[in-house]
Structure 1
Amino acid sequence: MSIDGVFIHNLVNELKIIEKKRINKIYDINEREFLFYLSNKLTLVGSLNLTYPHLRLTTKTINTLSEPTNFCMVLRKHFEHGIIDSINQYNNDRIIIIKVLQADELGYQSVKFLIFELLGRHANLILTNEDMIIIDCLRKTPLDSMRLLVPKVTYQFPTTDKLNPYTVTTDTTTIDNFEGLSNIIKNEIKHIKSLHQVLYRPVKPTLIKLNDKYNFYWTDLLTLSGEKQYFKSISSLLDYYYTEISEIFLQKEANRKLVNYINHEIKKTTSKISKQEIELSQAKDNLIYEKLGNLLASNLHKVNKGDNMVIVEDYYEGNNLIELKLDPKLSPSQNLEAYFNKYKKAQRTISILTEEIKKSFQHLQYLQTLQEQIQLATEVDLEEIALELGLKEQSPKKKTKVRPNYLTFTDATGNLIFVGKNNIQNNYLTHTLANKNDYFFHVKDAPGSHVIVRTNNLTDELIGLAAQLAAYYSNYHSKTTVDYTLVKYVKKVKGMPGSFVIYTNQKSVTVTPNKEYFLGQLKEVNHDK
């Protein structure tokens, strides 16, 4: 993305439409993005997101926080019901200044400023009074900072020794000393061999797609190739990009993080199991202390305090002579007790580690199940997996959601088939939605999708379709054995994470999933969520 000083210059010209408009309401979309509802039904988005800070007008409905942040409360106190007197850019920097006139309770008019510093990871929103004394700022800087941004301090703009290109009257191609020029426009200026021809080019907001990567600018550039889409305004371009395109990339990034998290947990759990198995092996080796203790007990009369060893006959192994080490500081009976204590400790360790290894393997199996589920997951499925792992908090507006995002199919005779694609969906289908006389389908001896069939007549054709769904949505695409039984014979494994179950009275069928075939025989239907 190239929101540089020239982009801001043209954006501010477009946003002049908000001048003389009243700020009716202010809300926060999140902790770094704000909505300003203006008169004449205009809505301004102020984003201080560290990745893509910007301002834009929007016509879309945007969800806001149910409770305002403290900073939003300060915004409301000082700027709601104020009149926007002007909007300007500072030099050719990525800084936008909105001057607001507001009358107090006694009718006295005051001047205040909203200063949007759209400076990438240093993005900030500063509120000042008429004398540029800071009222508050979204991001406060440490007291030893070169630019101090805290309340009650005089605001100072960032300094630069570069020139504003819009103040230059003579055309030039020497552009390195100009402020607010990104590489994207520098390349265009060098190509055209004219600063002015690029700066004063007609506004033509353009979105460029090349190799699944997107870029945009306030005008069409000859030096950027790819599939181009044009917009009627810079705001509409930004609105489209940040509500459509960027969401795709954010989702991909979230997916990548989820996959990396699960892979990391699998690696960590595998390493943990390896260490536990080594400890278990060592503990099993220490069981020999029972035998050694018995040999010592049979020869205790040979031991005196102060001895550091005793040689005894091993009547377990052909009466071979072996050496038993002793602690000279202990009495004979205390040495004997020490041997049996080591044996008892080994027993306890084996008992504990056996259970811990069992749990570790269960957790590993659970993670491997998630790894499989991600392969065919949609955006909503992935969100449910993130919720399940505790990596994402559920939105307050979604807490009343009853049903997860499982699939529902119907065949030609009206039989219903429900397909779970993750643990949340599987658990809901098998343990909440399903009736005891519905049929449960699952790949044999492996984690996978829960498929529920609701029918009064389980035909061979229906068995084949349900089995194909169970195999396909468990990420099996070759010949696979699928078990099926009545739901009443299916029980959740107590204490196991995920959607692991045990079942009885099952029959089996072998299928090779053919997506084109089963989708041709079934109709996907929506269900109430």
Structure 2
Amino acid sequence: MAFDGIVVANLVHELKQELINGRIAKIAQPESDELLLTIKSPAGQRRLCISASASLPLIYLTDTNKPSPMTAPNFCMLLRKHIANGRIIDIWQPKLERIIHFTIEHLDEMGDLCRKDLIVEIMGKHSNIIFCNEEGMIIDSIKHVPAQMSSVREVLPGRTYFIPDTMEKHDPLSISGQDFIETIDSKPLPLAKTIYTSFTGVSPVVAEEICYLSGIDSSITPKELSEDIKLHLYNQFTIYFSAISEGDFKPAIYYNGNEPKEFSSLPLSHFSNYTRKDFESISEVLDLYYSSRNAITRIRQKSTDLRHVVQTALERARKKYDLQVRQLKDTENRDKFKVYGELIHTYGYNLEPDAKKLDALNYYTNEMVTIPLDPTKTPQENAQRYFDKYNKQKRTFEALSRLIEETKEDIDYLESVQNALFIAQTEDDLAQVKEELIDAGYMRRKFTKKKIKIKSQPLHYISSDGYHMYVGKNNFQNEELTFHFAVGNDWWFHAKQAPGSHVIVKTNGDELPDRTFEEAGKLAAYYSSMKDKDKIEIDYVEKKHVKKPRGGKPGFVVYYTNYSLIIDSDISGIQLVE
């Protein structure tokens, strides 16, 4: 999805209507790279979320508040000092860059009226929030960029702010027809790529749209076009971008089924196969799509340490398992040594002294075998040597069989924890997984920290037929659901032979309709490691047939009779109880 210059222009248009002459009532920094401004404007109180996250930079108006750290970061304190209660007098975008300037008027320590610029750069991993004085000098930024990180531009206090023109792109809002034609002719690239690499703020999707509206194949090069066709392309290009100057934006999300495939601020006619949903506000579009994605991204970042612990333990367990399997393979011939010992006892009486081998009939297979002998030993000593070999490998086989089973259980357990980290949605979910890893001995508890009360609960869905369905988000919750919450006639679902959540359907003594079985199966598929497969096999059984093996790890069960169904993992139509 493209957060391009057109979307930024739509945002600027919307923010001007909502925030101009608004006063900054509150400045918070809930994350290291994110600001949340509360602004009291003539249109009412609004919250502006600004994120310079490298993985998910964005800016939009939201109704959602976020908890802030107990101690405000330095950048937040600096902004509070300078622009708290400041008035936003202008919001503007240079050309069609992915940059928004907020010009803020405030009183300094002497009571004099001053202006400062808060500059938001939405540029992928180079995104930043930069605070400048009226002369364009950088006071500070949410991310410092020294010369060692960038040879193009330093972003440090005391440096002059400028926009690096590394791509030498043209402004699509002001380019003439002749310059447009000369620009596209200068690049031997496919037409769509030529457009989005030549003009500021144009994404690949918009470049494809302009080619589609012009009726030109986007894969041919500009050199293949006649002058009339190039002029026609320029006219279509100008018409498309004139909507920006006129403020005629049409925010929308395009869906492929239930999956959002693209969002835009101007119509995308070439997405005719997708379902278009229109919105009044571009902030609503960004909030709807990015807020959930942003939450997932944050949780992924915060679970990095836990995922590293699990991945390291998993790699170690898998190496151990492979080694044990190879060692077990070496004991496959143990019975041969027992037979050798028996044959030496049977036929060794007529061996000549210093014999190096014994040819004998194996009465188990009725085949002749040649048995190597140690010429320095008697037949009885040779036989005992083979019996000792047999007994040693038998003991090794028995010990390794137990160890392999234990190691496989460790791998299965760690894969289930890995799946729990993947489906974690809140910090409480992560805290519960961390507690599980501590209990299992994979992490140490830090006694210096105060123990936090964990509020994480299983997910709660309601089937189309009104039955309550519960999904465990980790092994502790799986254990609780299956062995303490569910009763005998409730139904239990789980992805077959794959890490995943336990799903419990409360029957209230009723016979469940087929549709509820299917929806519970979809939940078990979605919250498993197999969710990306087209079809997933799900085991389901009444809870009374599910048992916990003695000494089993949390969430591990056995069952000997079950039903199965093949289902997909589309849960879009199932109601989640918040």
TM > 0.5 between the two? yes
> Please, which of 44, 47, 59 is the counterpart of residue 48 of structure 2?
44
Distance 1:185 1:408, change over 3 A: closer
- 1:123 counterpart residue number: 127
- 2:163 counterpart residue number: 157
List aligned pairs for 1:424-503, cutoff 5 A: 424-433=476-485, 462=509, 465=512, 473=520, 482=541, 485=544, 493-500=550-557
Name the CA distance, whole Å, in 2 between partners of 1:486 and 1:81.
63
Corresponding position: 1:99 with 2:126: no
- 1:359 counterpart residue number: 406
Distance 1:391 1:44, change over 3 A: farther
Name the CA distance, whole Å, in 1 between partners of 2:108 and 2:333.
83
The offset of 1:428, in angstroms, is 1.3
**Percent identity among equivalent residues?**
24
Distance 1:179 1:369, change over 3 A: closer
After superposing the two structures, state which structure 1 stretch, 201-210 or 286-295, moved more.
Answer: 286-295
The offset of 1:95, in angstroms, is 1.7
The offset of 1:391, in angstroms, is 13
The offset of 1:453, in angstroms, is 6.9
Query: 1:87–1:98: 8 Å Cα contact kept in structure 2?
Result: yes
The offset of 1:120, in angstroms, is 2.2
Corresponding position: 1:238 with 2:286: yes
The offset of 1:62, in angstroms, is 3.7
Give the AA of the match of 1:63.
K
- 2:193 counterpart residue number: none
Give deviations 1:181-206, integer Å, cap 9, x for gaps: 33444443872724443332241223
Query: 1:147–1:156: 8 Å Cα contact kept in structure 2?
Result: no
> Please, which of 44, 56, 65 is the counterpart of residue 60 of structure 2?
56
TM-score (norm 2): 0.58
Q: What SS class does the counterpart of residue 159 from structure 1 fall into?
A: coil
Distance 1:142 1:406, change over 3 A: same
The offset of 1:450, in angstroms, is 5.6
Query: 2:27–2:37: 8 Å Cα contact kept in structure 1?
Result: yes
The offset of 1:37, in angstroms, is 0.7
Name the CA distance, whole Å, in 1 between partners of 2:576 and 2:282.
38
Give deviations 1:444-486, integer Å, cap 9, x for gaps: 9x877566777xxxxxxx4865999889856899999956759
Distance 1:466 1:351, change over 3 A: farther
Query: 2:99–2:121: 8 Å Cα contact kept in structure 1?
Result: yes
Name the CA distance, whole Å, in 2 between partners of 1:483 and 1:9.
57
- 1:179 counterpart residue number: 200
Give the AA of the match of 1:432.
H
The offset of 1:311, in angstroms, is 7.1
Q: What SS class does the counterpart of residue 44 from structure 1 fall into?
A: strand
- 1:133 counterpart residue number: 138
The offset of 1:431, in angstroms, is 3.6
Name the CA distance, whole Å, in 2 between partners of 1:381 and 1:43.
23
Corresponding position: 1:206 with 2:265: no
> Please, which of 59, 70, 76 is the counterpart of residue 73 of structure 2?
70
- 1:3 counterpart residue number: 3
Give deviations 1:12-62, integer Å, cap 9, x for gaps: 24323434332221223544332111122122221324455333233x224
Q: What SS class does the counterpart of residue 405 from structure 2 fall into?
A: helix
Q: What SS class does the counterpart of residue 232 from structure 1 fall into?
A: coil
> Please, which of 400, 404, 407 is the counterpart of residue 458 of structure 2?
404
Q: What SS class does the counterpart of residue 63 from structure 1 fall into?
A: coil
- Structural RMSD (CA): 6.2
Distance 1:384 1:169, change over 3 A: same
Name the CA distance, whole Å, in 2 between partners of 1:403 and 1:392.
15
Give the AA of the match of 1:98.
F
Corresponding position: 1:81 with 2:84: yes
Name the CA distance, whole Å, in 2 between partners of 1:148 and 1:392.
46
Query: 2:428–2:455: 8 Å Cα contact kept in structure 1?
Result: no
- 1:304 counterpart residue number: none
Name the CA distance, whole Å, in 1 between partners of 2:179 and 2:406.
71
- 2:210 counterpart residue number: 188
Give the AA of the match of 2:480.
Y
Give the AA of the match of 2:455.
K
Q: What SS class does the counterpart of residue 151 from structure 1 fall into?
A: coil
TM-score (norm 1): 0.63
Q: What SS class does the counterpart of residue 38 from structure 2 fall into?
A: strand
Name the CA distance, whole Å, in 1 between partners of 2:518 and 2:24.
57
Name the CA distance, whole Å, in 1 between partners of 2:262 and 2:537.
41
Name the CA distance, whole Å, in 1 between partners of 2:521 and 2:270.
47
Query: 1:86–1:98: 8 Å Cα contact kept in structure 2?
Result: yes
Name the CA distance, whole Å, in 2 between partners of 1:90 and 1:467.
58
Name the CA distance, whole Å, in 1 between partners of 2:290 and 2:163.
28
Corresponding position: 1:146 with 2:143: no
Query: 1:96–1:115: 8 Å Cα contact kept in structure 2?
Result: yes
Query: 1:266–1:364: 8 Å Cα contact kept in structure 2?
Result: yes
Name the CA distance, whole Å, in 1 between partners of 2:512 and 2:77.
60
The offset of 1:81, in angstroms, is 0.8
Name the CA distance, whole Å, in 2 between partners of 1:218 and 1:31.
29
The offset of 1:355, in angstroms, is 2.4
Corresponding position: 1:280 with 2:328: yes
Distance 1:141 1:430, change over 3 A: same
Distance 1:195 1:450, change over 3 A: closer
Distance 1:382 1:344, change over 3 A: farther
Name the CA distance, whole Å, in 2 between partners of 1:430 and 1:16.
54
Query: 1:470–1:482: 8 Å Cα contact kept in structure 2?
Result: no
Query: 1:82–1:103: 8 Å Cα contact kept in structure 2?
Result: no
Give deviations 1:270-298, integer Å, cap 9, x for gaps: 897565333113146469889999999xx
Distance 1:272 1:453, change over 3 A: farther
Q: What SS class does the counterpart of residue 39 from structure 1 fall into?
A: strand
Unaligned runs of 5+ in 2: 185-197, 215-231, 302-309, 349-353, 377-383, 438-449, 525-535, 568-573
Query: 2:107–2:113: 8 Å Cα contact kept in structure 1?
Result: yes
The offset of 1:91, in angstroms, is 3.3
Distance 1:384 1:360, change over 3 A: farther
> Please, which of 94, 99, 104 is the counterpart of residue 90 of structure 1?
94
Distance 1:346 1:440, change over 3 A: farther
Query: 1:25–1:37: 8 Å Cα contact kept in structure 2?
Result: yes
The offset of 1:158, in angstroms, is 0.7
Give deviations 1:335-361, integer Å, cap 9, x for gaps: xx9999988975674454222211244
Name the CA distance, whole Å, in 2 between partners of 1:368 and 1:401.
24
Distance 1:272 1:11, change over 3 A: same
The offset of 1:218, in angstroms, is 2.7
Give the AA of the match of 2:24.
I
